[in-house]
Amino acid sequence: MADFVQVDLVTPERLFASVEATLVEVPGSEGDFGVLPGHAPLISAIRPGVVTIHLVGGAKQRFVVIGGMAEVTTERCTILGEYLEEVTDVTRDQATARLADARKALADALSDEAIALAEKQVQVAESLALAA
């Protein structure tokens, strides 16, 4: 058994990350769960939230994820997200401002397409605010 989990984060548009980790924290639809090396296989829907990857060597990477699935095997964790955004140095004030802007865009949206886009922006901003 390996001492790490291979983690791949992908969207329909691109591969966001392919790294080796000691732990992956995933916001599953039935609750958060952690993936360690040798984890039992599972497939889970993902709710909006933050995926935290504890990299081999001790560093962390965090990604906001909106929708999608997680597939886990004993050696790999694949996150197939509808939307992913890396959480970098976002301050609490920046996240709060982004959330306010997203809520205003939702209130101002008129078409179904604009409403759907604004709702996704609100979910992303809420997740960023929690992560900041």
Can you tell me the mean pLDDT for 8-35?
A: 94
Q: Mean of the pLDDT values across residues 110-119?
A: 87
Q: What phi-psi label fits residue 67: left (phi over 0), alpha (psi between -120 and 50 degrees) or beta?
A: left
Check whether 1 has a pLDDT greater than 70.
no
The encoded tokens of residue 29 equal 């639809």
Residue 80 has a pLDDT of: 96
Residue % of the chain over a pLDDT of 90: 50
Segment 27-48, tens digit of pLDDT: 999 999 999 999 999 999 999 8
**Residue 89: which pLDDT band, with cuts at 50, 70 and 90?**
low
- The confidence score (pLDDT) of residue 52 equals 94
Strands (E), 56-109: 60-72, 76-87
pTM for the predicted model, two decimal places: 0.79
Residue 114 has pLDDT above 80, yes or no: yes
Name every residue whose Cβ is closer than 8 Å to that of residue 80 and which is 6 or more positions away in sequence: 10, 11, 68, 69, 70, 71
**Euclidean distance between CA atoms 1 and 23, whole angstroms:** 15
DSSP 83-97: EEEEE-S--HHHHHH
Rounded CA gap, 112 and 114, in Å? Answer: 6
